[in-house]
Amino acid sequence: MKVCIYGAGAVGGHLAARLLANTPAEVSLVVRSAAAPVLRERGLTLRTEGREITGRPHHVTDDPATLPPQDLVVVTLKAPSQPAAARDIAGLIGRDGVALFAMNGLPWWWNHGLSDKGALDRVDPDGALWREIGGARALGAVVNSSNNVLEPGVIVHAGAKRWAVGEPDKTSSPRLRRVIDLLAAADLEAIESPDIRRDIWRKLMTNISGNPIAALTRLAGKDTVAVSALDDVAIKLIEEALVVAKAEGCDLTGEISAEAIARPPKGRFPGKPSMLQDVDAGRALEVEAILGQVQSFARARGVATPSIDVVYALLCGLDHALRLAR
């Protein structure tokens, strides 16, 4: 099985290392030009659970056109980078292949099988992903796994390693089962999701509070305990997102507590949220996928989101400042 990890950073590098160590898959990486020589020379090292997992990819390139058609393209690029890569991703997908999108927030393929509205306006504003790839060639994923790139090719993992994967049309297809089997063979907790959009909404309730607050304050989750007012902001963001999700047909109010997410009874996870990692590295932020598209849904449904509106504006300002610095 030919597998390409497109954007082998923290999450993609974690997955690639496990695939190389535990499966016969032919694993290729598409990475930034600066990282490619290092990964070719040293391969990948994953530090997890007190041990190291190493592997050498079959191919490492910054030019997707040099790779043959793939059975599975796992896209771990952050949402802001995906539209520009749409044509390259599409060119990698083999005749019977599929692209698995593992990202935070609401994905571009959301409307596939739901409506004829096409691409989401905030995530894929020019429709490049919808046009070049199309929802019929996409699978969705929700990844619960904390990873950080210590240096090129070295990933540190802590906590869960759960991947929930599902078809946008909620079917249990042969291609979906093949992907689940591959992830399970790679020693990941692979779950076939019967409703991947519901799982995405569920994870978003954590992302919409933890990521923006960490990015704006530069505080990791465990360090926000000293500022109780931040918990109040987190609760309002989650409560508003729950109302938007319900208006969109996904009622999570009976199973998700904003208070429990904002003030977890077992304590906050000590890792650094991905958006804070992006701020520290000066990278583009997942503003639209995590906040902007929720705001767009709210506008369409006539739902008021005052807290989301304020935090969204502040994050847009921070993202612009990072772009100016780059």
Annotated catalytic sites, by residue?
203
- CA distances to 2, 140, 303, 322 from 136, rounded to whole Å, are 20, 11, 30, 35
The four Cα atoms 277, 280, 282, 285 give a dihedral, to 10 degrees, of 40
CA dist 134 and 203 (Å) reads: 24
* DSSP codes joined into one string, 231-247: HHHHHHHHHHHHHHHHH
Contact call for residues 12 and 76 (beta carbons, < 8 A): yes
- Cα atoms in the 13 Å half-sphere on the side-chain side of 281: 16
Name the residue among 105, 30, 35, 115 with its Cα closest to residue 73. 30
CA dist 155 and 58 (Å) reads: 18
Residue type, 252: L
CB contact burial 89-104 (16+ within 10 A = b; e otherwise):
bbebbeeebbbbbbbb
CA dist 99 and 134 (Å) reads: 10
Contact call for residues 8 and 29 (beta carbons, < 8 A): yes
- Token couple for 267: 């304590």
**DSSP label of 289:** I
